[in-house]
Amino acid sequence: AQKITQTQPGMFVQEKEAVTLDCTYDTSDQSYGLFWYKQPSSGEMIFLIYQGSYDEQNATEGRYSLNFQKARKSANLVISASQLGDSAMYFCATSDSSYKLIFGSGTRLLVRP
Partner 1 sequence: DARVTQTPRHKVTEMGQEVTMRCQPILGHNTVFWYRQTMMQGLELLAYFRNRAPLDDSGMPKDRFSAEMPDATLATLKIQPSEPRDSAVYFCASGDPGTSGSRYRETQYFGPGTRLLVL
Rounded to an integer, what distance in angstroms lies between the CA atom of residue 79 and that of residue 70?
Answer: 20
88 near partner 1, judged by CB under 8 A: no
Cβ-proximal residues to 24 (8 Å cutoff; 6+ apart), any chain: 4, 5, 7, 72, 73, 74, 75
Rounded to an integer, what distance in angstroms lies between the CA atom of residue 95 and that of residue 63?
Answer: 23
Among 45, 81, 84, 110, binds partner 1 (CB under 8 A): 45
73 near partner 1, judged by CB under 8 A: no
Stretch that binds partner 1, among 14-22, 30-38, 62-70, 71-79 (CB under 8 A): 30-38
Among 37, 66, 87, 109, binds partner 1 (CB under 8 A): 37
Stretch that binds partner 1, among 15-23, 48-56, 63-71, 75-83 (CB under 8 A): 48-56
56 near partner 1, judged by CB under 8 A: no
Rounded to an integer, what distance in angstroms lies between the CA atom of residue 16 and that of residue 18?
Answer: 7
68 near partner 1, judged by CB under 8 A: no
Residue type, 75: A
**Within 13 Å, how many C-alpha atoms sit on residue 1's CB side?**
3
Please give the residue ranges that form the binding site for partner 1 (CB under 8 A): 31-33, 35, 37, 43-47, 50, 52-53, 91, 95-101, 103, 105-106
